């Protein structure tokens, strides 16, 4: 009897239903798998046979053929072990076919029949729900992740034998129910609290503005002035993620197999700090069978690039398109895949190779041309995409040694959160739930239409920005970015209108004349 089990493949971040058909073929012994399987899927043949036998169940002596359909979808990874084993068991009559109705199955088997963790369970569960499945059978380790999708019964399995006993109604397995763990302090962990950072009030303010509206920041200053310290303190002031944002982010981590153990849902904004030796594919995503890169893992959070000019020019330039589109498209011979990449860039750099160009105390030892060359490593178009340019001067001894305790991260975070709440409210009506990554969640996400609607200036503001446009030789992009930034500053002040003061602060964050 032909058996048919439903499983799933992941293309990019989306689950695609795969039919696993199992039948007898002519000849004796062994398993044949057809339907565009990759090497890991081919290896299922051996694992399934061992797992079934080691679970104490009979494996047919005749040859078994497995067809994975649709044939056009490339199947990768070891997800199909469990569906193939179940298909064989249905075919041989061990498991009744009706037990598998409206049920999606995925999981890797070990030789002893135990079921192992699988990646990408969240998008697969979402696909199950969308395609009208009632139930999903997943490895126990991934049950909490699958249970994030509502109205889907999640059966967690530890071994093939346990699943067999469940399906034959011998020892039923309890479906996994959601345990709604509250957000913990741990989720907001930042190695440094803002109160420990002395002086640098204007930098702290700039970082607060950036966090409130999701704006890009570049910090420039001499060595040891606290740039890395300030950036690393940022996770402590980032606003909460909405549940939609959290699901969006978790989906990426699920596919990249980067979910921390015991964390089915990522609730805090990601903070990614890749080293400057990172490859092009590591940053934007890639590989033979494309996987998300750091810019996608930083989706809805922060991508911190320390020692900014040390990243290869080519590596940095590939970020230009994703920074504008808030997604990245990777093309391969088999087709192209799109991953969301709506991140907030936080970059830090020294102004020159020796580090002291512009320092108030220590003279710079670099030749003028060296400084220019160093700064030129960051191209104009890339700089133009950075809303906040801020100089981080050295802290003087009085400030450093004073006992005055600065404002804590928790208290800054309250203001950031209040400003973000205003934004959430504002954009809730114009959200398009189909294309998640394009959803407007914060001021930095605004497109031209929204800027026109929400960033109206009064007469004084108009004339201020007009003067600035010609004096600072601003691009059209810079103009829009300044308006968005001014909107955030007004939101932080709880002001409905963008006042001249707000606009002036936004303008002050544009790059001062770089040398060269």
Ligand X SMILES: Nc1ncnc2c1ncn2[C@@H]1O[C@H](COP(=O)(O)OP(=O)(O)OP(=O)(O)O)[C@@H](O)[C@H]1O
Interface positions with ligand X (CB under 6 A): 197-200, 221, 223-229, 348, 350, 355, 395, 400
Shortest gap between Cβ of 413 and ligand X (angstroms)?
19
**394 DSSP assignment:** P
Nearer to ligand X, 163 or 231 (CB): 231
Q: Where are the beta strands (DSSP E) in 162-293?
A: 217-221, 271-272, 285-286, 291-292
Picked from ligand X, Mg ion, none, the partner binding residue 29 (CB below 5 to 8 A depending on kind) is none
C-alpha span between 507 and 505 (Å, rounded): 5
Q: The tokens of 425 are what?
A: 């409210």
C-alpha span between 255 and 336 (Å, rounded): 16
Picked from ligand X, Mg ion, none, the partner binding residue 366 (CB below 5 to 8 A depending on kind) is none
Residue least distant from Mg ion (Cβ): 228
Strand partners, 272: 303
Shortest gap between Cβ of 272 and ligand X (angstroms)?
17
Strand partners, 455: none
Picked from Mg ion, ligand X, none, the partner binding residue 224 (CB below 5 to 8 A depending on kind) is ligand X
Helix and strand numbers (H, E) in the chain are 21, 18
Tell me if residue 84 falls in helix, strand or coil. helix
Nearer to Mg ion, 80 or 311 (CB): 311
Picked from Mg ion, ligand X, none, the partner binding residue 229 (CB below 5 to 8 A depending on kind) is ligand X
Nearer to Mg ion, 59 or 304 (CB): 304
Nearer to ligand X, 227 or 299 (CB): 227
Shortest gap between Cβ of 221 and ligand X (angstroms)?
6
C-alpha distance across the termini of the chain, in Å: 77
Residues 51/116, Cβ–Cβ less than 8 Å: no
Strand partners, 305: 347
Picked from ligand X, Mg ion, none, the partner binding residue 292 (CB below 5 to 8 A depending on kind) is none
Q: The tokens of 6 are what?
A: 């439903």
Nearer to ligand X, 277 or 334 (CB): 277
Residues 81/51, Cβ–Cβ less than 8 Å: yes
Residue 50: which H helix or E strand, with range?
helix 44-54
Nearer to ligand X, 47 or 227 (CB): 227
Shortest gap between Cβ of 138 and ligand X (angstroms)?
43
Nearer to ligand X, 159 or 192 (CB): 192
Shortest gap between Cβ of 195 and ligand X (angstroms)?
10
* Radius of gyration, CA atoms only, the chain: 27
Residue 165: which H helix or E strand, with range?
helix 160-167
Picked from Mg ion, ligand X, none, the partner binding residue 395 (CB below 5 to 8 A depending on kind) is ligand X
C-alpha span between 483 and 469 (Å, rounded): 12
How many residues in the chain?
Answer: 516
Q: Which residues bind Mg ion (CB under 5 A)?
A: 228
Nearer to ligand X, 70 or 223 (CB): 223
Shortest gap between Cβ of 201 and Mg ion (angstroms)?
19
Strand 153-157 and strand 344-349: the pairing is unpaired
Shortest gap between Cβ of 387 and ligand X (angstroms)?
21
Picked from Mg ion, ligand X, none, the partner binding residue 225 (CB below 5 to 8 A depending on kind) is ligand X
Picked from Mg ion, ligand X, none, the partner binding residue 156 (CB below 5 to 8 A depending on kind) is none
Coarse DSSP helix, strand, coil percentages of the chain, rounded to the nearest 5 percent: 40, 20, 40
CA distances from 372 to 316, 351, 378, 474 (A): 18, 9, 11, 21
Nearer to ligand X, 223 or 287 (CB): 223
Nearer to ligand X, 354 or 485 (CB): 354
Shortest gap between Cβ of 353 and ligand X (angstroms)?
11
Residue 461: which H helix or E strand, with range?
helix 459-471
Picked from Mg ion, ligand X, none, the partner binding residue 143 (CB below 5 to 8 A depending on kind) is none
Token pair 């498991």 in the structure block, residue: 95
C-alpha span between 400 and 402 (Å, rounded): 6
Picked from ligand X, Mg ion, none, the partner binding residue 226 (CB below 5 to 8 A depending on kind) is ligand X
Q: The tokens of 414 are what?
A: 């309250």
Residue least distant from ligand X (Cβ): 226
CB neighbours of residue 237 within 10 Å: 26
Q: Which of 259, 340, 324, 333 is nearest to 292 (CA)?
A: 340
Nearer to ligand X, 229 or 238 (CB): 229
Shortest gap between Cβ of 306 and ligand X (angstroms)?
7
Shortest gap between Cβ of 235 and Mg ion (angstroms)?
16
Shortest gap between Cβ of 225 and Mg ion (angstroms)?
9
Picked from ligand X, Mg ion, none, the partner binding residue 103 (CB below 5 to 8 A depending on kind) is none
């Amino acid at each position: 009897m032909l058996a048919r089990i439903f499983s799933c493949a992941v293309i990019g971040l989306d689950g695609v239903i795969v039919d696993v058909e199992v039948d007898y073929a002519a000849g004796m012994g062994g398993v044949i798998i057809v339907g565009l399987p990759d090497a890991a899927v081919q290896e299922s043949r051996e694992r399934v046979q061992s797992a079934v036998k080691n679970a104490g169940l009979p494996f047919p002596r005749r040859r078994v053929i497995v067809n994975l359909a649709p044939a056009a979808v490339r199947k990768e990874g070891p997800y199909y072990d469990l569906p193939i084993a179940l298909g064989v068991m249905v075919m041989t009559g061990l498991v009744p076919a009706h037990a598998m109705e409206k049920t999606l199955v995925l999981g890797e088997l070990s030789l002893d029949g135990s079921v192992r963790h699988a990646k990408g369970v969240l998008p697969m569960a979402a696909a199950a729900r969308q395609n009208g499945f009632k139930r999903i059978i997943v490895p126990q380790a991934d049950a909490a992740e699958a249970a994030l999708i509502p109205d889907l019964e999640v059966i967690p399995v530890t071994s093939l034998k346990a699943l067999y006993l469940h399906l034959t109604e011998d020892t039923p397995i309890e479906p996994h129910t959601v345990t709604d763990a509250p957000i913990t302090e741990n989720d907001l962990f930042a190695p440094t609290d803002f109160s420990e950072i002395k002086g640098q009030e204007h930098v702290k303010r700039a970082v607060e503005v950036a966090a409130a509206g999701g704006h890009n920041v570049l910090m420039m200053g001499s060595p040891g002035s606290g740039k890395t310290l300030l950036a690393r303190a940022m996770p402590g002031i980032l606003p909460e993620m909405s549940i939609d944002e959290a699901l969006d982010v978790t989906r990426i981590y699920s596919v990249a197999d980067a979910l921390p153990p015991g964390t089915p849902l990522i609730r805090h904004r990601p903070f990614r700090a890749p080293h400057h030796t990172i490859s092009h594919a590591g940053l934007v995503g890639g590989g033979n069978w494309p996987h998300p890169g750091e810019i996608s893992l930083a989706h809805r959070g922060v991508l911190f690039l320390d020692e900014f000019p040390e990243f290869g020019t080519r590596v940095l330039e590939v970020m230009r398109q994703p920074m504008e589109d808030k997604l990245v498209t990777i093309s391969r011979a088999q087709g192209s895949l799109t991953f969301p990449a709506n991140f907030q860039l936080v970059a830090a750099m020294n102004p020159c190779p020796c580090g002291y160009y512009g320092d108030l105390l220590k003279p710079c030892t670099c030749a003028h041309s060296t400084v220019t060359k160093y700064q030129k490593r960051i191209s104009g178009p890339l700089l133009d995409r950075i809303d906040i340019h801020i100089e981080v001067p050295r802290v003087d001894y009085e400030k450093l040694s004073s006992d005055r305790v600065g404002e804590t991260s928790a208290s800054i975070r309250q203001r950031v959160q209040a400003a973000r709440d205003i934004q959430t409210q504002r954009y809730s009506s114009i959200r398009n739930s189909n294309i998640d990554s394009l959803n407007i969640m914060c001021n930095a996400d605004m497109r031209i239409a929204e800027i026109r609607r929400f960033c109206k200036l009064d007469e004084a503001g108009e004339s201020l920005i007009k003067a600035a446009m010609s004096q600072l030789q601003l691009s059209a992009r810079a103009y829009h970015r300044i308006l968005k930034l001014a909107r955030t500053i007004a939101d932080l002040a709880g002001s409905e209108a963008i006042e001249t003061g707000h606009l002036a602060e936004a303008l002050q964050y544009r790059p001062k004349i770089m040398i060269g």
